[in-house]
Amino acid sequence: MRLVYPPICAGCGIMTGDHAALCAVCWQSVRFIERPYCEITGAPFDHDRGEGLVSPEAIARPPAYGKARAAVFYDGVARKIAQGLKYSDRADLAEMMAAWMVRAGRDVIDDSDVIIAVPLHRRRLFSRHYNQSAELARAVARLSGKRFLPAGLHRVRATERQVGLGLRARQDNVRGAFRTPETQKARLFGVRILLVDDVLTTGATVEAATRALKRGGAGEVNVLTFARVARSGEETLYA
């Protein structure tokens, strides 16, 4: 199989020692998110403001979720990897991406009982063949030993793409788009949930999903994504 499908760098395509890996040059270009950052939203600070500090945005507009964490900034090689998983049928990348997520989100993983992915609407799922967030959630669950609930949340309304929309428009777009199935409510009642998505932009999608889970009886909901944009509202291809 290695003769037919030799391992190549997920970033630039040169030969590497393993599949779904990065060469040294691409690895050095990835911007991993490290402290200091807001303990609630995970938004990085430009300088160290002290342990446990919360951003003014999180104080003024507390999110529905408890904490959010992300592994990398959504740019360069990391952006290419995220788009490869989402649009190019590169499901093989999920394991590598999930390993980075587990490293970045150990605190929210430890505080969770089960893992749930942000779902796709069935029409979009049919066109893409799989849900990239579910692939990440499944891999995170496998690496962390947590339970993955693939049916814990449904997307009951097809939404428009979020590209070009401001925060308020994004919020309106996903309002009422998610619902906890009646058959899952007893299983989720009071449970601490880790909600997994691929990219965090403004947070509108994970906020809507969090509210749906809490209406369904879930306890605390934390968020873990592979990447986040450097600035809130920065344009991406992601819904």
Residue 49 lies in a domain: no
Instruction: Give all strands (DSSP E) within 60-213, no chain letters.
Output: 68-73, 114-117, 147-148, 154-155, 178-179, 193-200
Range of lowest pLDDT (101-105, 108-112, 121-125): 121-125
Query: How many Cα neighbours within 13 Å face the side chain of 138?
Result: 14
Q: Where are the beta strands (DSSP E) in 18-89?
A: 68-73
Domain presence at residue 154:
yes
189 and 137, same domain (yes or no): yes
Segment (H or E) for 224:
strand 221-228
Same domain, 24 and 108: no
Domain co-membership, 26 together with 75:
no
Q: Do 73 and 26 share a domain, yes or no?
A: no
Distance (Å, rounded) from C-alpha 213 to C-alpha 178? 8
Residues of the chain with pLDDT > 90: what percent? 69
Q: What is the mean pLDDT of the chain?
A: 88
Tell me the average pLDDT across 191-214: 95
For residue 214, is it within any domain? yes
Quote the number of domains for the chain.
2
Residues 182-206 have a mean pLDDT of 95
Of 104, 117, 185, 106, the residue nearest 149 (C-alpha): 117
Average pLDDT over residues 32-37: 94
> What local confidence, expressed as pLDDT, does residue 165 receive?
52
Summarize the confidence of residues 22-29 as an average pLDDT. Answer: 96
* Domain membership flag for residue 57: no
The mean-pLDDT minimum among 44-58, 86-100, 150-164, 183-197 falls in 150-164
Is residue 65 within 8 Å of 221, Cβ to Cβ? yes
Q: Any idea what the CATH number is for the domain that residue 161 is in?
A: 3.40.50.2020
Report the percentage of the chain scoring pLDDT > 70. 86
Report which DSSP code applies to 123: H
Q: Do 19 and 71 sit in the same domain of this protein?
A: no
201 touches 172 (CB < 8 A)? no
Provide the residue range defining the domain that includes 205: 66-228
Asked whether the predicted pLDDT for residue 80 surpasses 80, the reply is yes
Q: Which residue has the higher pLDDT, 218 or 16?
A: 218
Tell me, yes or no, whether 55 lies in a domain: no
pTM of the complete model beyond 0.85:
yes
Residue 10 within a domain: yes
Q: At 1, is the pLDDT very low, low, confident or very high (cuts 50, 70, 90)?
A: low
* Residues 15 and 83 reside in one and the same domain: no
